[in-house]
Structure formats: structure tokens, C-alpha cells
Structure 1
């Protein structure tokens, strides 16, 4: 595998502003948070942990650019119910993980990195909850390592059961053009809110600062799992969709999820947008996820 050398997250003023915003949002978690790190061949992974150390592990995977600080409205409810919450900063993404080792080299490398993180945490098996891109990673991981995934909660997951809206791809294109600025990221998030509840302002700013000033690796993506692969899925699945999602058609995604996984629980939460689902939709999301996890 090829090596990758990344600048230190604190080596520039924009990155330092981002990390200050990250720490400020993490300080809003209403429970004590333990900062864990795991060294893998790809670099150092940060995990924000809370809840009883002997509780059933619940691994949280955030969406692209969102950071694990995203879960400020959810972690306390899940930890308070007895789960050991392990919120991971994706390697190579804005956050406190540092990708200064080997390249991920595609989807197998990404899943191997997650294997190594769980090994480093001494977690042989866990429940998983992923939002957006993190939902796709969680689903792929459940297919990759079925013995390590108990129950699987997907929050408005992208590229799992249906594709993006064509219009969404056009709207997101400017994010990949030169001249990355916080204003561009803010405009994108505001446009994607879909007229629903406003995004949390602290998280919105964290996302914008990370987009503009934080060193990041090329995003590892892959195709949607085929119907044949989905039929091999062993883990029970809960899929919660944002009724105002502009990333994809939630009705179409719900139909596709029910068709692919007839035993899965699928629900659409109205009046909440894609990025805001874990935050603005927290009361309903927290309740439904806890009910789902308790079935195990």
C-alpha cells in the first residue's frame, strides 16, 4: 500500500479554528466523554466514548464531514440506557483522527481499518448506528463482518437502497471545486435544509470550518450493495429516513429498503432534513433506536 503524509491537524490557523469548534461542540455533550485513540496502519483514530464501560458497545459512524461531535443530541440517551457509546471520527475525514499512515486503498481498506479500530478497542462485537455516508459504511461493515455486528440502525443512509436525486448531485458539485470556503459549505447546508428545522449553529460552523480548512483524504466510496448481497445480511436493521431529505427520495428509499429487507423496520420522520436528522429529529430518533436495540 502507498504511504500518505498528512499535515498536522493543528498546523494551520484554519485547522486550529476547526479543532476549537470541535472541542466546543463536544463540550455540549451532556454526559462525561472519554477520548480514546487507536493506532492502526492508516494512522490514529479518535473515538469519543461515554456510558458504562461494561455496557453493550454501540458504534456510531457519522456522515461525511460531520465528525463524531455530531452525536451531541443522541449520546446521552443511548449511554443512559446502558450502552457503551463509541463515536468514531472517520479516518481521513475532518475530525481528530489523523490519517498519516497507509492509504485506505478502497472499500476493503476502509473496512479493514474499522476491523483494526474494534480490535484496538477490544470490542469483538457491537451494535452499529450510522448516519448518511456513515450508514453506508455501517451496512458494508455488517456485510463484511457479520459476526461483529449485532443490530444495525441506519439514519437516512445514502447509497444503501437507492441512489441520489439527480438534482442533488448538481447541488453538491460546487463542494468539490477549487476555492473551498466556509461560506460555500454554509450555503450548501442551508440549501439542503429543505425548509425544515434549522441546523444546530455550532455544528453548522464546525462542518463549514472542516470543509474549508482541515486536511482530508479522498473519500472512499463504492456501489450500492446488490439485492443478492443484501439478502445475506444477518443483522436486524432499522432504517429511519428524513422526510425532507433532498439527497434522495425518502419514499423511494423506504420502498426499496422494505423490498430488499422484508424483516427490517423502516420509517420516515416528517419535517426533518437529511443533515439535521440526528439533531433536530433527536427525540424520535433516540426513542426508536433505543426500542430497536432493546429487542436484542
Structure 2
């Protein structure tokens, strides 16, 4: 999932986006606690649910998706006893406010996440990321393996294979001037071809965030090298789950799954039939929730 990074703007047109954000958050089936923590980069919003003494599960959304995208997943994971912490990425559309130092580069992004965990008093957590959020989660596990217990990656991008050329051509207009909600809706509808319909509330939230937040640089980078990924296998392997959307247009799911198995032989890898890239956590929620909960249980190897 691709998105332009953002900086805060007080203009009234953002009211529609914030109202859409709150409507989607209201669909979470469990009580949600809005947490905010201050770092050098600004104020980070975390939507938390589940028992306060549960094992922390940090959720990292895809670009432009906001933490509300977990509406079909967070309840199941919270009710299973996890302390779910869904983070709004700093600088991305959402309720985090990027009014401090620029992130700059990958170390800056990972340092921001270090600071968020520090402010929350979390020494170690399990992580689950989708798309760009999966790339951040993987990079964070390589950066701070002692802080990552288990790592779940949902249709990860730029982790084990690159983007399909056709996808890059279709997504490129998203980064051109003159952004409109229609352009974002058209992109989402194209990507969902062959799969279930995109949730209309989330589709509208994504489109409004894309159009109404001013662009700023995206913090990204190349795929980790095989040698770098080896750090997750020794001396003590970090358990990894990788779920791929069968109809994802960002990459060829079966090739991505094979590349994951080659890079991380200890990983649990599966492909979800019928799912598309953006729809995976929502439309395929029953299967995604089952896979993730099974993976997070202590008995899992």
C-alpha cells in the first residue's frame, strides 16, 4: 500500500476526514482507549484495546490506511487477551501530529518507533504490520530484535520481493500534483478487481486522507538483503508469520511466498485465497484473525 507522507494542516477541509476516521473507529467491536505519546517528531496517536495487562501487540497500518483499518481484526485479538496497540504512523494521514523534527530517513523512522515504545513503557511486544506497515515491522525487527517477540506480516511489500512493474505504473499517478478523492477511489477499485469489494467506509477515509493531507517525503528504502534477513534466524530465531493475498496486484503472491520461505526457512507462510492487497485484513478477517491468533499462541513453534 503506497501513500504520500503528510504534515499537519488545520484547514477546515480535514473535518470530513476526521469524521470518517471516527466513524470507522466506532465500528471496532470492543472499547477503544485513545492514547497519545509525545516524541521529538510530534504527537503519536495509539488506539488501544484489550486487557491492560495483556501481552502487547503493536499494529502498524499500510500507507494512508490509518490505524482504524484494523476494525475487523483488533476485537478478535483483544478478546483473546492481547493488549492491542494500533499506531497511527507519524506523518501519515490519521490523528498523529507530525509537528516536530522530520523523520528524515529509515533510522529516523525506527527511532520514532523506539521512542513510542519507550513512552508506553513497553520493553518487548509482538508486531503485526500490513503492506508498508509490514515493511516497517520487519525493519524494526532487524533494528531491535530484542524488542520483537513475534512478527506477523500481512501481504508485506518491499520485504522479500519488489513491486510488480504494472502495479508501479498504476500507482504512480497517486504521487502527481492535483490529488483528488476520485483518483484514490479509482486506484483502490482497480486493485480490488477480482476480489471482494473494498469496505466503503474505509475506502472513503483513504480517499479523503489522500486528497486532504499535504504531501511530504515517504520514508522508505530497499528490500533487506538475504544476509541482513539472516539476523532473524540466528542465534535465536524471531518467529515470523507471512500471509499473502492471493489476488494482490502489488506482487505475485506465490512468488512472494516462495521468496519468504527461502529467506526465512523457519517462517510460517500462507496464501489467503480470493483476497486482494488492501482487502486482506478486512474482507478476509476470519482467516487472517485465525492465522494470527494461532501464530501468537505460546505453543506455536
TM range (shorter): over 0.9
Partner of 2:295 in structure 1?
A: 292
SS in 2 for 1:232: helix
| Distance change >3 Å, CA 165–CA 56, structure 1 → 2 | same
Mapped to 2, the partners of 1:7 and 1:77 lie a distance apart of 32
Q: For residue 116 of structure 1, report the CA deviation from its aligned partner.
A: 0.1
> Conserved in 2, the CA contact under 8 Å of 1:92 and 1:216?
no
> Conserved in 2, the CA contact under 8 Å of 1:65 and 1:207?
yes
Say whether 1:127 aligns with 2:126.
Answer: yes
Q: 1:269 aligns with which of 266, 269, 272?
A: 272
Mapped to 1, the partners of 2:20 and 2:153 lie a distance apart of 27
Say whether 1:144 aligns with 2:147.
Answer: no
Mapped to 2, the partners of 1:194 and 1:150 lie a distance apart of 36
Partner of 2:213 in structure 1?
A: 214
Structure 1 residue ranges (4+ consecutive) displaced by more than 4 angstroms after TM superposition: none
- Aligned CA RMSD, in angstroms, stands at 1.1
Partner of 1:75 in structure 2?
A: 74
Per-residue CA distance 1:169-195 (angstroms, 9 max, x = gap):
000011011110000000000000022
Q: Give structure 1 stretches of 5+ with no counterpart.
A: none
Partner of 2:3 in structure 1?
A: none
> Conserved in 2, the CA contact under 8 Å of 1:238 and 1:265?
yes
Mapped to 1, the partners of 2:295 and 2:111 lie a distance apart of 27
| Distance change >3 Å, CA 198–CA 6, structure 1 → 2 | closer
Partner of 2:283 in structure 1?
A: 280
Mapped to 1, the partners of 2:277 and 2:108 lie a distance apart of 27
Partner of 1:229 in structure 2?
A: 228
Mapped to 2, the partners of 1:216 and 1:120 lie a distance apart of 27
Per-residue CA distance 1:122-150 (angstroms, 9 max, x = gap):
11110000000000000000000011000
Mapped to 1, the partners of 2:247 and 2:258 lie a distance apart of 16
Per-residue CA distance 1:5-62 (angstroms, 9 max, x = gap):
9444xx2232111001000100010100000001000000000000000000000000
Mapped to 2, the partners of 1:31 and 1:7 lie a distance apart of 29
Q: Scaled by the length of structure 1, what TM-score is found?
A: 0.96
SS in 2 for 1:231: helix
> Conserved in 2, the CA contact under 8 Å of 1:44 and 1:99?
yes
> Conserved in 2, the CA contact under 8 Å of 1:51 and 1:79?
yes
> Conserved in 1, the CA contact under 8 Å of 2:8 and 2:98?
no
Mapped to 2, the partners of 1:186 and 1:103 lie a distance apart of 29
Q: For residue 217 of structure 1, report the CA deviation from its aligned partner.
A: 3.0
The equivalences for 1:101-120 within 5 A come to 101-120=100-119
